[in-house]
Amino acid sequence: MAHDTAGDPITGLKWTRKTTEKIRRALRRTGIAISRNTVARLLKGLGYSLRVNHKKIAGKASPWRDQQFRQITKTRRSFRRNGLPILSVDAKKKEIIGQFKNPGVAWQKTPILVNDHDFRSDGIGMAVPYGVLDIEANRGKIFVGTSHDTPAFAVHALAQWWKGEGRRRYPDAAHLLVLADSGGSNGARTRAWKHEIQTRLCSPFALAVTVCHYPPGASKWNPIEHRLFSEVSKSWAGQPLVSYETMLNYIRTTTTHAGLVVGATLVHRHFPTGQKVTAGQMKRLHLVSHRTLPVWNHTILPAPPAEMWSCF
């Protein structure tokens, strides 16, 4: 075992790359016949521990990561000084609706019985949550789709937020900031995301929309992750999402000591995948790329760009 043992010099924990079956066979060759369970008990008595994989190794960071974080901070400060809305958006993990296990624990007299397998065919449907967090107001809204997480669905959520809450909370605002991850339905290189913002948000509501994307691998820094989604997950921890209404109720009752208020809306509309945006359509967008890291920072205008926007 000496050459197959590793350990932590701080905690004193030890572990081995050999399985209990391999150790049993090795002992048997020396004339010691014991079972794998006995091997496991002996290992535990000797201070060995079972270990699992931990996702701790970060991927290769972008060389412009720190520069983009500084740019996001600078942009947020500018919008805050001018009293303009700052939104953090993202899609939350999809959930199967039905009598399925939900991670976490809850205080109750007896365990909740759930299906022994997570077969989608046994569920009522899939829930596709897309969140919008108004950072300064500390107000969140989650749109629960029943179709697909697409750029059209993401921008539909933004447009519905503006119609239902945004323009009432910010009646004089003609410009808003959106903080988003660099991948997924709101990805930095996703043509449909930009096209939908132009056609569904900017032009219909005469809004200028500045989008700043977090660098790849930095989604945990997006405020919506730790200020909204984590709190919603705590609300329904250990509770099966047996219906869409149950899910919506858990979202709507999510609160924090900091005063977070969350709303939820079910979206029955179908959003097909595979949306294509041509190069010609992209050229017609009123898009102004910023001077600093233009791949991750741009502003889409409701009308053709004017000279004043060259400051970006």
Q: What is the pLDDT of residues 123-172, one digit of tens each?
A: 999 999 999 999 999 999 999 999 999 999 999 999 999 999 999 999 99
Q: Please give the Cα distance from 295 to 187 (Å, whole number).
A: 10
Tell me the pairing of strands 297-300 and 287-289.
antiparallel
Higher-confidence residue of 49 and 20: namely: 20
Identify the residue whose tokens are 């075992």: 1
Enumerate residues 6+ apart whose C-beta is below 8 A from 264: 141, 142, 143, 144, 247, 248, 251, 252
Supply the pLDDT for residue 18.
74
Dihedrals phi, psi of 279, to nearest 5 degrees: -60, -35
Structural element, H or E, at residue 250 = helix 244-252
Burial of 18 (0-12, 13-18, 19+ CB in 10 A): middle
Q: Please give the Cα distance from 143 to 72 (Å, whole number).
A: 25
Burial of 309 (0-12, 13-18, 19+ CB in 10 A): middle
Token pair for 240: 């099966």
Provide the pLDDT confidence category of residue 306 given band limits of 50, 70 and 90. Answer: low
Supply the pLDDT for residue 105.
76
Higher-confidence residue of 274 and 2: namely: 274
Residue boundaries of the structural domains of the chain: 2-45, 65-311
Provide the pLDDT confidence category of residue 305 given band limits of 50, 70 and 90. Answer: confident
SS (H, E, C) 60-127: CCCCCHHHHHHHHHHHHHHHHHCCCCEEEEEECCCEEECCCCCCCCCCCCCCCCCCCCCCHHHCCEEE
Out of 3.30.420, 3.90.1200, 3.40.50, 3.30.70, select the CATH number for domain 65-311. Answer: 3.30.420
Q: Is the pLDDT confidence value at 310 over 50? A: no
pLDDT tens-digit map of 79-98:
999 999 999 999 999 999 99
pTM recorded for the entire structure = 0.80
Supply the pLDDT for residue 15.
60
Q: Please give the Cα distance from 312 to 298 (Å, whole number).
A: 8
